[in-house]
Amino acid sequence: MSVNIRKNIPYPELNYDYFQKGIDVSALSLHKMLAAAKKLDAINEWGSVVALTYMAAQRTYPFYTDMADIKAMLESIARSFGYHYGKEKNVRINTVSQSPTKTTAGTGIKGFGDFYDFADSIAPLGNASAEDCANYCITLFSDLTRMVTMQNLYHDGGYSTTGVSMEVMTGGK
């Protein structure tokens, strides 16, 4: 929820009040939720927490502006809190790094349509849909994944580890 993106402010000219608002809403909110849950002892032993993120935390996507830095912080909080909550109550915390997805937040990003098609043509399996994302998240609430914690997990049809696809090389021919 970047105010800078909503106001079309490019990365080198970020408004720092908006930046701090984005950090609070989209990264610190995870810490605040976890701190409150821990204080109230609201999560069961071996409970599981999942936050959604995007690969701009690892690689540069100019239009993602300050959300890239904010997502990097979100992923870091998942690791840092994952240690403490894991030690205390075996609660696990992961982030799922999802393909571009046509949602309200996704389509709010400038040039999203072209970028969606680009990612789709790179990923061998194509972009992962919102429903696929939901299904993957459910697996992380299962005891079958009980030893997975403090991870950033790519759910992107193979996009993140594909250098280039033949489709992109030949311009879709």
Ligand X SMILES: NC(=O)c1ccc[n+]([C@@H]2O[C@H](COP(=O)([O-])OP(=O)(O)OC[C@H]3O[C@@H](n4cnc5c(N)ncnc54)[C@H](O)[C@@H]3O)[C@@H](O)[C@H]2O)c1
Task: For residue 81, give every residue at least 6 positions away whose Cβ sits within 8 Å of its Cβ, in sequence order, or none.
Answer: 30, 31, 34, 93
Residue 126 lies near ligand X (rule: CB under 6 A): no
Residue 105 lies near ligand X (rule: CB under 6 A): yes
Stretch that binds ligand X, among 3-11, 79-87, 96-104, 160-168 (CB under 6 A): 96-104
Cα(29)–Cα(48) distance, rounded to whole angstroms?
Answer: 17
Cα(12)–Cα(25) distance, rounded to whole angstroms?
Answer: 21
CB of 61 to ligand X, least distance (A): 11
Stretch that binds ligand X, among 31-39, 50-58, 78-86, 141-149 (CB under 6 A): 50-58
Please pick, from the candidates 1, 3, 9, 33, the single residue that binds ligand X as defined by CB under 6 A.
1
Q: Do the Cβ atoms of 108 and 165 come closer than 8 Å?
A: no
Fill in the amino acid letter for 67: M
Q: Which residues bind ligand X (CB under 6 A)?
A: 1, 25, 52-54, 98, 100-101, 103-106
